[in-house]
A = this chain, B = another copy of it.
């Protein structure tokens, strides 16, 4: 740990600035905005998983009273194939454009192929029913094995595998291949005394954010558009919408609402360009809101995967070789989260020989999107399950096995970079000492542990700090607040400026009011935008020193800033009283005008995050139902700016990970029609399904951030899958390789053993 810092505001559990509005229902989310004369828009979606669109006849719908506009793919501009920049999981523009509105072909059940704007939702629904579409139904590809097999039907017959050493000669559903390697795995396995291998599958799951996608768009006759929407990145909504519609970013203003969850799923666009096109045709604002059914069918879930992991070790637990073969479903357009999954899988371990092979595979399902630590839960589920099996074979404590091989400062990560100060060993040691690790288990109960990792992101942020005339502070930034970043930004501004938290307000401003900011994702905001807020506050302090110096008639470099006041440096021969920020602000007009600070950066060195999770479960031998008795999340936060929010992230990630482990899955029929597009049939954990999640924050400061911050939002979802699966293995004695560990699957395994 680095030397202790003495903080006045950092680390305090202050009141959330958005709390009152959220608990009283005043906060405005995506669907809460309205404009005079606004129409309602909705999308016609494909009933087929794979079909050619031969004809769309909108004439009957267009003739209906109250229908103002209908658009189909033919109304949208042709979009080239440049790579998009700056958007987490945004993919390709041509793909993005046809995912937003199909052209000649629909490639998943739920794919948009037309949209209507009308005076009311009832008229919209009637008009959608009146649109006649002729399809030529094609055979869909619905799983990785089929998709990767020779002679498989092709989702996209113009796609050739990228990343192969030899140029492919024919199209494939495999969109991309990549690998990381070190040493020689064959040699490593030859040196091993124990080798364990397993193949694991995870299903398609959804982020399950409470708030469906929603937006209001309006475009004027001059081509200037405004979009209100719920998003993790309004600058990305702007750039993506402009690419899809061939607009100038200067002509599009995107105003973010409050956001009712995103978890990576709100880093791309679905409705926004459609609403703009409808508004353009109708000459009125258009509001679009997805139903839950549409969210499941047509937004971006997480990749289903098939991962084979093989690990060899000496009898003392020293790992000699690791091999991962990872296949990720991309959905109908290329770009799964395979790459980050491959980056993370072996990152916690020092190993001389490894090979990680990753495949990005097209299937006739909705295009996947990012989901919290995208790709890592799936791959690390496989790795951490195999390590668990290895520990059993070695008769070693699973924490000790990990400690034996754990990376620390100076280790070179499997994905390339050398680690700076990291807290993995500290998490393992904390787990060993944790009282929950020592509790006795009863019959049919089991305990599983697993490690989690996420590399965390930096990226571009900017911030402005305005000092009001009474000395209060407004921070203007452009990172939508999903996990409490307004409170964190205010705390950091308070700490720098030396003013009470209560005096600081944080505004998440729109694309015109704020400087450019990358998406809220990659656990980057508290780190990167926070750093911008700190620097902008320092810009203010520098100006305040100048104002004080001018007031006192001394040089600015003879002024210090302490406890929210300008004071003369020791030895300054001037009889002056300290000037508070409020005093300097009140006098700003006479000393040079309003106080206005700014900073922008592309943040480097975000500081990777590690976790250890422990799950205790009881498996009902009669039904196969798994109850989580206890769950303990231990995680290195670098520095917890607002500990309650950090704990909230750890608890939320655990809840989502346990849902993924135990119950959640997309269920398709043989034709690729989704069978459970609603929360009654798609089984997310509710409060009664879970115990209180115990948390322990470890603080190994990130040396690249002034306060030591490292991202905390994504690590929490990585370890729960394996922790729960290892606990079920412990409780039942059976290793089940496929998720979810739902009652039917667990019961089948129990009965197979009996049988």
Residues of A within 8 A of B (CB): 19-21, 24, 26, 32, 34, 36, 85-86, 218, 220-222, 224, 235, 239, 248-251, 459-462, 464, 466, 468-470, 472-474, 476, 503-505, 507, 509-510, 512-517, 532, 588-590, 592-603
Of chain B, the residue at the smallest CB distance from A509 is B513
Chain B residues whose C-beta falls within 8 Å of the C-beta of A462 in the assembled complex: 593-594, 596
**Sampled A-B contacts (13; CB under 8 Å):** A20-B222, A86-B469, A86-B589, A239-B469, A248-B472, A462-B596, A464-B515, A476-B513, A513-B514, A516-B594, A592-B601, A593-B602, A593-B603
Cα–Cα distance between A36 and B239 once the two chains are bound (Å): 30
Cα–Cα distance between A589 and B517 once the two chains are bound (Å): 10
Given A20-B222, A513-B509, the answer on whether A464 and B596 have CB atoms closer than 8 Å is yes
Chain B residues whose C-beta falls within 8 Å of the C-beta of A515 in the assembled complex: 464, 466, 594, 596
Chain B residues whose C-beta falls within 8 Å of the C-beta of A532 in the assembled complex: 593
- A470 & B250 in contact (Cβ 8 Å cutoff): yes
Q: How far is the CB of A663 from chain B (nearest CB, A)?
A: 36
Other-chain residue from B220, B472, B514, B588 in contact with A460 (beta carbon distance below 8 A)? B588
Cα–Cα distance between A251 and B507 once the two chains are bound (Å): 12
Cα–Cα distance between A515 and B220 once the two chains are bound (Å): 28
Chain B residues whose C-beta falls within 8 Å of the C-beta of A592 in the assembled complex: 600-602
Extra pairs beyond A20-B224, A466-B514, A596-B598 (7, CB < 8 Å): A20-B221, A21-B224, A26-B220, A460-B589, A461-B594, A466-B515, A509-B512
Cα–Cα distance between A85 and B588 once the two chains are bound (Å): 12
Chain B residues whose C-beta falls within 8 Å of the C-beta of A513 in the assembled complex: 476, 507, 509-510, 513-514
- B21 & A220 in contact (Cβ 8 Å cutoff): yes
- Across the A-B interface, give the 3 residue pairs with the lowest CB-CB distance, nearest first: A250-B472, A516-B594, A20-B222
Among the interface residues A34, A249, A461, A512, which one has the most CB atoms of the partner chain B within 10 A? A512
Chain B residues whose C-beta falls within 8 Å of the C-beta of A249 in the assembled complex: 468-470, 472
- B476 & A512 in contact (Cβ 8 Å cutoff): yes
Chain B residues whose C-beta falls within 8 Å of the C-beta of A595 in the assembled complex: 600
Cα–Cα distance between A516 and B595 once the two chains are bound (Å): 8
Among the interface residues A218, A474, A504, which one has the most CB atoms of the partner chain B within 10 A? A474
Chain B residues whose C-beta falls within 8 Å of the C-beta of A602 in the assembled complex: 588-590, 592-593
Interface SS of A by simple majority: mixed
Chain B residues whose C-beta falls within 8 Å of the C-beta of A20 in the assembled complex: 220-222, 224
Given A20-B220, A469-B86, the answer on whether A512 and B505 have CB atoms closer than 8 Å is yes
Chain B residues whose C-beta falls within 8 Å of the C-beta of A251 in the assembled complex: 505
Chain B residues whose C-beta falls within 8 Å of the C-beta of A590 in the assembled complex: 602
Cα–Cα distance between A595 and B32 once the two chains are bound (Å): 33
Chain B residues whose C-beta falls within 8 Å of the C-beta of A468 in the assembled complex: 249-250, 516
How many copies the complex holds: the figure is 2
Of chain B, the residue at the smallest CB distance from A467 is B516
Cα–Cα distance between A166 and B595 once the two chains are bound (Å): 42
Cα–Cα distance between A563 and B589 once the two chains are bound (Å): 34
Cα–Cα distance between A469 and B249 once the two chains are bound (Å): 8
Q: How far is the CB of A465 from chain B (nearest CB, A)?
A: 10
Cα–Cα distance between A222 and B239 once the two chains are bound (Å): 36
- B589 & A596 in contact (Cβ 8 Å cutoff): no
Cα–Cα distance between A512 and B592 once the two chains are bound (Å): 20
- B589 & A600 in contact (Cβ 8 Å cutoff): no
Chain B residues whose C-beta falls within 8 Å of the C-beta of A459 in the assembled complex: 589
Cα–Cα distance between A596 and B468 once the two chains are bound (Å): 20
Among the interface residues A514, A517, A592, which one has the most CB atoms of the partner chain B within 10 A? A514
- B600 & A593 in contact (Cβ 8 Å cutoff): yes
Chain B residues whose C-beta falls within 8 Å of the C-beta of A503 in the assembled complex: 250
Cα–Cα distance between A590 and B85 once the two chains are bound (Å): 12
Cα–Cα distance between A503 and B251 once the two chains are bound (Å): 9
Cα–Cα distance between A36 and B33 once the two chains are bound (Å): 8
Cα–Cα distance between A63 and B510 once the two chains are bound (Å): 43
- B460 & A594 in contact (Cβ 8 Å cutoff): yes
Cα–Cα distance between A34 and B35 once the two chains are bound (Å): 8
Of chain B, the residue at the smallest CB distance from A513 is B513
Q: How far is the CB of A404 from chain B (nearest CB, A)?
A: 40
Cα–Cα distance between A594 and B461 once the two chains are bound (Å): 7
Chain B residues whose C-beta falls within 8 Å of the C-beta of A250 in the assembled complex: 468, 470, 472-474, 503-505
Chain B residues whose C-beta falls within 8 Å of the C-beta of A224 in the assembled complex: 20-21
- A516 & B26 in contact (Cβ 8 Å cutoff): no
Cα–Cα distance between A239 and B473 once the two chains are bound (Å): 15
Q: How far is the CB of A82 from chain B (nearest CB, A)?
A: 12
Chain B residues whose C-beta falls within 8 Å of the C-beta of A473 in the assembled complex: 250
Chain B residues whose C-beta falls within 8 Å of the C-beta of A598 in the assembled complex: 464, 596-598
Of chain B, the residue at the smallest CB distance from A26 is B220
Other-chain residue from B85, B239, B466, B593 in contact with A601 (beta carbon distance below 8 A)? B593
Chain B residues whose C-beta falls within 8 Å of the C-beta of A235 in the assembled complex: 469
Chain B residues whose C-beta falls within 8 Å of the C-beta of A504 in the assembled complex: 250
Cα–Cα distance between A226 and B34 once the two chains are bound (Å): 17
Chain B residues whose C-beta falls within 8 Å of the C-beta of A589 in the assembled complex: 85-86, 459-460, 602
Of chain B, the residue at the smallest CB distance from A539 is B598
Among the interface residues A21, A86, A470, A598, which one has the most CB atoms of the partner chain B within 10 A? A598
Cα–Cα distance between A459 and B594 once the two chains are bound (Å): 10
- B460 & A517 in contact (Cβ 8 Å cutoff): no
Cα–Cα distance between A672 and B507 once the two chains are bound (Å): 48
- A596 & B600 in contact (Cβ 8 Å cutoff): yes
Chain B residues whose C-beta falls within 8 Å of the C-beta of A514 in the assembled complex: 466, 513
- B600 & A516 in contact (Cβ 8 Å cutoff): no
Chain B residues whose C-beta falls within 8 Å of the C-beta of A248 in the assembled complex: 470, 472
Chain B residues whose C-beta falls within 8 Å of the C-beta of A218 in the assembled complex: 26
Chain B residues whose C-beta falls within 8 Å of the C-beta of A34 in the assembled complex: 34, 36
- B24 & A221 in contact (Cβ 8 Å cutoff): yes
Cα–Cα distance between A600 and B597 once the two chains are bound (Å): 10
Chain B residues whose C-beta falls within 8 Å of the C-beta of A588 in the assembled complex: 460, 516, 602
Of chain B, the residue at the smallest CB distance from A27 is B220
Cα–Cα distance between A512 and B251 once the two chains are bound (Å): 22
Among the interface residues A85, A470, A476, A600, which one has the most CB atoms of the partner chain B within 10 A? A600
Cα–Cα distance between A598 and B540 once the two chains are bound (Å): 12
Cα–Cα distance between A473 and B248 once the two chains are bound (Å): 11
Cα–Cα distance between A593 and B20 once the two chains are bound (Å): 34
Chain B residues whose C-beta falls within 8 Å of the C-beta of A596 in the assembled complex: 462, 464, 515-516, 598-600
Of chain B, the residue at the smallest CB distance from A532 is B593
Among the interface residues A235, A250, A251, which one has the most CB atoms of the partner chain B within 10 A? A250
Q: How far is the CB of A591 from chain B (nearest CB, A)?
A: 8
Cα–Cα distance between A507 and B511 once the two chains are bound (Å): 11
Cα–Cα distance between A512 and B250 once the two chains are bound (Å): 22
Q: How far is the CB of A411 from chain B (nearest CB, A)?
A: 28
Cα–Cα distance between A382 and B495 once the two chains are bound (Å): 60
Of chain B, the residue at the smallest CB distance from A507 is B512
Cα–Cα distance between A173 and B533 once the two chains are bound (Å): 53
Q: How far is the CB of A458 from chain B (nearest CB, A)?
A: 10
- A460 & B505 in contact (Cβ 8 Å cutoff): no
